[in-house]
Amino acid sequence: MTDARSRREWLAAVGAATTAAAAGCASLNSPPVNADREAPDVDPGAGDSTRQTIPPGVAQFRGSLERWGYYPDETVPDAVEEAWRIPEVNTGDHSAAKASAVPLPGGGVVLPGDTGELLAITAAGEVRWRGETDAGGRGIHGTPAVADGRAYVGAYDGVCYAFALDSGDLKWSTNLGGSIGSSPLYCDGELYVSVEFPTPEGRLFAVDAETGDVTWAEPEHRPTDHPHSSPAVSLDAGRMVCGSNDGYCYCWSFPDLEFQWRFATDPPETNNGEIKGPIATYDGAAFFGSWDTNVYRVDLATGEEDWHFETGDLSMTGPAIDPERDVVYMGSHDDHLYALDASTGDVEWRFRTGRPLTGCATVAGDRVLTGSKDGTLYALEADSGDEVWRVDHDGWITSAPRVVDGEIYYAERAPDPASGDVDGGGYKLVAAE
């Protein structure tokens, strides 16, 4: 407990250091806890628990504030071929899911790597610029949020960065301390970021997207113990949730950010119930997987369990939600992707790959995309789980695929980082001619 107490004293008394950037410096000194926080300015049709909320002009991890990974207007081709491969996107040995691509206005994507670089790539596969961070070692694993002409991303150096989309210039950087393995959530000009500190510490922050100033820091330093999980919001329920390595799902009211409850996986005290992946909010509930081998549905209002489904091994992926089918797609280290009835947890179908699933599945139209540590990206029929096609790679596919105009972007983990012979690349697939 000595290290934890020192970390809290340091954060409270000193604040994290900030890196000077073109827009000036940001600070953690005395951020307000919940001073006059207003309801977010988003689509007035939001607030329906079975609709996802995509703020205008914003693209981010899993697409929406609810983190569904659901793109109903996209289509997955019947057959695909490789359009391009960008080498050396991921070269490290960290086994966490790799970052995903996010579309840019006007075409192309931004794609981070565990090298610590953020790449802006045209639709034709040209790297326009590389945004550099100071994150050595594990680099970037979180997926950027794109808004306001900037790409916002956290890195394992504990810094949240804002890069200009047109040039890659650094607009600001704010050191939140510790490490950031999660993906920021952008809502109404603020970024919500979970930060990992040395065990057993962790903390959730709100950061002003324009300036990099910290506008809120969780006063009780929740979630504790390495929150690699990314936060999600339900406007309908007025809740924000985030998971952590301590085996708890934490919940705050939103937007005023008053702590409401925490839900314990079984048993959290053994640290075998870690919640590594992102959480999704849907139909008044939070959905997530745990290292205790279960997938959970938890009521957002009360923090009570609605159901759980036991897989054959730990689950560290995030859910993909299909509201038309009322289905949750979840992967497991038992090598399967499961389609679960969102209301009951009953299995609609299961699909077996050759190795564990770590990254999130994606729903695009009538098909589901999922990668596996067997080095394969799979396209499946959403209704039946029947395989449409597969593409084999040398590396692990743990990056959540992103479909843009019928074209598929994703990345792989280097298959043998220690050898240095084969790197992990970034890919684009298109319809086969």
The percentage of residues in the chain with a pLDDT greater than 70, rounded to a whole number, is 87
Round to whole Å and give the CA distance between 328 and 320.
6
Beta strands in 158-213 (DSSP E): 159-164, 170-175, 185-187, 190-196, 202-208
Q: Which of these, 419, 377, 412, lies nearest to 396 by C-alpha position? A: 412
Each residue's pLDDT tens digit, 295-329: 999 999 999 999 999 999 999 999 999 999 999 99
Tell me the per-residue pLDDT of 58-107, one tens digit each, with 9 for 90 and over. 999 999 999 999 999 999 999 999 999 999 999 887 778 899 999 999 99
Structure tokens belonging to residue 71: 């793109």
Q: What is the pLDDT of residue 10?
A: 28
- Has residue 240 got a pLDDT over 70? yes
Q: Is the pLDDT of residue 287 over 90?
A: yes
Which band of pLDDT confidence, cut at 50, 70 and 90, is reported for residue 123?
very high
Q: What pLDDT score was predicted for residue 269? A: 60
Question: By CB neighbour count within 10 A (0-12 exposed, 13-18 middle, 19+ buried), where does 354 fall?
Answer: exposed
| C-alpha torsion 340→344→348→351, nearest 10 | 30
Write down the pLDDT at residue 25: 35
Res. 5 pLDDT band, cuts 50 70 90 = very low
pLDDT at 28: 46
Look at residue 251 in the predicted model and tell me its pLDDT: 97
Q: What's the token pair of residue 75?
A: 């289509």
So what's the pLDDT on residue 189? 97
Query: Out of 51-60, 87-96, 247-256, which region has the weakest mean confidence (pLDDT)?
Result: 87-96
Q: Looking at the predicted structure, is the pLDDT value of residue 360 above 70? A: yes
DSSP H helical ranges for 26-160: none
Res. 26: pLDDT tops 60: no
- Which pLDDT score, from 0 to 100, does residue 43 have? 57
Phi-psi region of 45 (alpha: psi -120 to 50; beta: other; left: phi over 0): alpha
Is 418 a residue whose pLDDT tops 80? Answer: no
Which of 51-55, 95-99, 411-415 shows the lowest mean pLDDT across its residues?
95-99
Place of tokens 């952008």: 186
Q: What is the mean pLDDT of residues 40-59?
A: 78
Contacts of 283 (CB under 8 A, 6+ apart): 49, 50, 323, 326, 342, 343
Q: Decide if 150 contacts 162 (C-beta within 8 A).
A: yes
Region 356-360 average pLDDT = 96
